[in-house]
Structure 1
């Protein structure tokens, strides 16, 4: 089942990591380095030959209430489908132990003997699942320690946004080349994997080989959520046509005496995606016709977006705590009406709407600073890639792929339902035809097997929020044509570890400019810091990889 997960606390100001820069915070040593050695220039330049991407074969799904016109839009279900489809035939596992390193946002689950969900999954898949759980904040260290050890798990889920160092070399020495099992028509042995679109598989091909299975996510990006009810009460239009009208809108709704502000920063960002779309800032990189790459911070559009946000700060339209605001705090301020806009994704829109039926939320239409539609910065189509430990046993590889195929079953299937809910009466209950996890079920699902792999995501809420889901669907349809992707996004394993310290430095620098502690021209200094700190080195690697792929 599709879940509304607010799981990646990264805005565009985390662009050091988000652009596949190496974290380098934990040194990798031991067997890994001796096995990998130093990467050769040709390795980093890209593949000399590439296998075909998996053939796309659409899987049958229950008819959506609102059917997506293209892959950028999510199928939307106002009610859970009355009849479930079956997508997996025959046995999945062989009763063997299956170990997996996976990032989790949950508390540690109850042990197997006291965990009915875990027991159910083991029986359903015919496996002995043994997760190696790593909390999101600790994943980099856990990953480094695990990869440097001698006991590599059968499956390793690698978040693509962390910029973990030496991942590209690991695909040569530690992880299984899955090309013969998944390339071209070979993937048809795994129908739910074949249901994943071709563009997503591009992120699972490294050095020309298929190296893992995606945990797919929507690409539509972050809109400006607005408190429609309060805007309407104040008689203020929340769909400005240009930057000047946006500034007037912010002025009209801001009232410090009432503790109400138009905007708030969160998690180190300043509504970065929204203002980037407004000013035409590239999504990470701009790919020029001559093959060169220009980083967002190097563009005049980026500087203009920072200058405009500074102007809004000077006008008093940002919440005074914006520089240190955490996402959860910003959400609370949005719900309470203390901020009128909130830069967030569709999952959180659903979460707020279902939890607070007394408020009315909409999304601001995209616009350009000087008029027109502006752009919508899209995100990568996946959260992570799950790779398999290298082995000569092809039957073992097939078994692990069958497990991942099960996990990728679409919304409305029995398999997806099993993974999402578990055991009726224990981990979930059904009321008026709507399945809902119990408190026990939510806790026991902390085993996080559902985070290893996912197919296409759908919009659905167990709590009926029909108007909200319809607005989300209509907004996705409207902005899909103006979506702008990162031209280097699929090359996430290419890293420059020495850039690890730049993220906080540049984030702090942008905040200093917006809050008036540094002049706008300080952005130029930050761009130079980025270039000299490894940005130019990363640029050359990515340009070489893109050129190699184009041959």
Structure 2
């Protein structure tokens, strides 16, 4: 799948710093009014361990190829080559009613051609036996579209909700109960046998698909736990005789050495999330951890966060960030990295392969590599990450049993794993049109890149693997070497196994507070304002309320 070109599902992480509801979208009417007025609760905690009996029973699909490299969980296994033969995993067409399915999914980049104008949609829909009509929305504005849809109680048959958007949607659990089908009696236990592709999903993904103690969605399992990596143009750094930094001092010094405004070159885009990670700022659920006395503490309140703010403000003040990015002019930071106008970029790991594949054709020797995470204070680093799904697919409530089963059969087909003919069609389209195939595997054509935008991927999921790409033969080994090393330092989540619907006021306060901190980082407000911003977050921003809620959730779970 490729939200912005060929790449892995982890591309979803590319947009975590770019998307979110505005303050106006999360306060007042919004979801609350749309779901029937005052909701029963503004926050809720589910103990997922108590729902184990409702999980779909996981079963392997016979005939799949064995992986070439093993990932340290939650890092998936990897394949360095495509199987010579593909097999059909679904014996019959899942669509039988002839009634068109409407779905909404995100895309990053140009919108793909719609139904009736896309050979890709026509080919997949022919295999499904039914037309799926996609409303493909701009991924950068997807949260706003979701808020409008849910507030108006006007949802399509299948709705994709990215995991990272859920935290921004007020009273989402109430919206789920009001608008979407309860799938527990369709999928729990051995009932999932009717949908064998869904049965291959890891149990950890299904655990996160519960709302209100019922199985309310189909998860799209993540293919990597890491939200961020710091990527560098290693080819340009090598040419300048510079090594990747291993300390904060080296990071600043390398940035200073490569920045040359006279040549139109700067060191960085906004790397604040990575700077926080280097300083060991907590990252669990946006930034929570437990103090030594067991009290929940948010990142804003930690000395590590203040250190990260001071360092990042110093980077901005020194003019090491590209000025168009400082001014938020909408400059494409990926293009700046590709053209050598910046040498380091913070992004999701999913950026790696597609950019390398495309740019090595444009720039001989182009070499994009991640900087290994280090600790600003010495010792082992802290790496943010989790194994939560990429997204969730919800089924519109009230469609009737036969229609729900048809939709689940379609989702099941779309969820076929690597090594199947269904996976190949979903990912690469029709051979000779959307891709060419050699002994090394499929390679997309121009039409493939134009028409395929993860439409079917975002209404399904698949058992995750790191798949090979002929254009970048060392990618899988490089990715797994990096990931298997970084996963050793994955942050521990004290609330693991608890699903928390955070208080509405806290949700509404996140983006406005982040905006104020961004103003401080970029010099639009003085650094001395940080304490006042944090105090405001604790009160009107719902921070203290959120802390009490998290403490109670742990106590109620007996932890």
Whether the TM-score (by the shorter chain) exceeds 0.5 is: yes
Whether 1:478 and 2:485 are equivalent positions in the alignment is yes
> Aligned equivalents of 2:237 and 2:476: distance in 1?
20
**Residues 154-201 of structure 1, C-alpha deviation per residue, up to 9 Å, x if partnerless?**
222222222223321123222222223333443344332222222222
1:299 CA displacement: 1.3
Partner Cα distance (2:415, 2:28) in 1 = 32
State how far apart, in whole Å, the 1-side matches of 2:36 and 2:538 are.
27
1:474 to partner: Cα distance: 0.8
What is the alpha-carbon distance in structure 2 between the residues aligned to residue 501 and residue 177 of structure 1? 27
Unaligned runs of 5+ in 1: 266-270
Counterpart in the other structure of 2:313 = 310
* Corresponding residue to 1:230 among 219, 231, 236: 236
Who is 1:285 aligned against?
Answer: 288
Quick check: 1:121 aligned with 2:129? Answer: no
Are the aligned partners of 1:225 and 1:362 in contact in 2 as well (CA < 8 Å)? yes
CA distance in 2, matches of 1:91, 1:112: 19
Query: 3-state SS of the aligned residue for 1:454?
Result: coil
Per-residue deviation, 1:369: 0.6
Q: Which residues in structure 2 correspond to 1:185-334 (within 5 Å)?
A: 185-217=190-222, 218-240=224-246, 242-265=247-270, 271-283=271-283, 284-288=287-291, 292-325=295-328, 329-334=332-337
Instruction: Between 346-355 and 454-463, report the one with greater CA deviation.
Output: 454-463
- Whole-Å separation in 2 of the counterparts to 1:63 and 1:332: 37
CA shift for structure 1 position 549: 5.2
- 1:150 is displaced (CA, Å) by 6.8
Equivalent residues of 2:220, 2:461 under 8 A apart: yes
1:382 match: secondary structure: coil
Q: Deviations over 1:60-79 (max 9, x none)?
A: 532334x2333332433344
1:434 aligns with 2:441: yes
Could you tell me how far apart the structure 1 residues matched to 2:500 and 2:126 are?
Answer: 35
Are 1:27 and 2:34 an aligned pair?
no
Give the distance between the partners of 1:547 and 1:197, measured in 2 at CA.
28
| CA distance in structure 2 between the partners assigned to 1:141 and 1:261 by the alignment | 33
Contact 1:460 1:469 in 2 (8 A): yes
TM-score, normalised via structure 2 length? 0.84
Residue in 1 aligned with 2:59? 57
Aligned residues of 1:17 and 1:23 also touching (Cα < 8 A): yes
Q: In structure 2, how many angstroms separate the alpha carbons of the residues matched to 1:351 and 1:424?
A: 20
Select the residue among 542, 545, 555 that pairs with 1:534: 542
Kindly report which structure 2 residues correspond to 1:74-473, keeping only aligned pairs within 5 A, or say none.
74-97=76-99, 98-105=101-108, 107=110, 109-110=112-113, 112-147=115-150, 152-162=155-165, 163-217=168-222, 218-240=224-246, 242-265=247-270, 271-283=271-283, 284-288=287-291, 292-325=295-328, 329-357=332-360, 358=364, 359-378=366-385, 381-391=388-398, 393-431=400-438, 434-445=441-452, 448-460=455-467, 462-473=469-480
2:44 partner SS: helix
Task: Flag structure 2 segments of 5+ consecutive residues without an equivalent.
Answer: none
RMSD value over aligned CA atoms?
Answer: 3.5
Deviations 1:342-385 (A, max 9, x none): 11222211122111222122221111112223111115632321
Q: Evaluate the alpha carbon distance shift between residue 248 and residue 149 of structure 1 in structure 2; reply closer, same or farther with a 3 A threshold.
A: closer
Q: Name the counterpart of 1:268.
A: none
Residues 1:71 and 2:78 aligned together = no
What is the distance in 2 between the residues matched to 1:310 and 1:64? 45
Once structures 1 and 2 are overlaid, which stretch shifts more, 119-128 or 362-371? 119-128
- Structure-1-length-normalised TM-score: 0.85
1:33 Cα deviation (Å)? 1.1
Query: SS at 2:231's partner residue?
Result: strand
Q: CA deviation at 1:276?
A: 1.8
Contact (CA 8 Å) 2:411, 2:459: kept in 1 or not? yes
Decide whether aligned partners of structure 1 residues 376 and 328 sit closer, same or farther in structure 2, where only a CA change above 3 A counts. farther
Cα distance in 2 between the residues matched to 1:539 and 1:462: 45
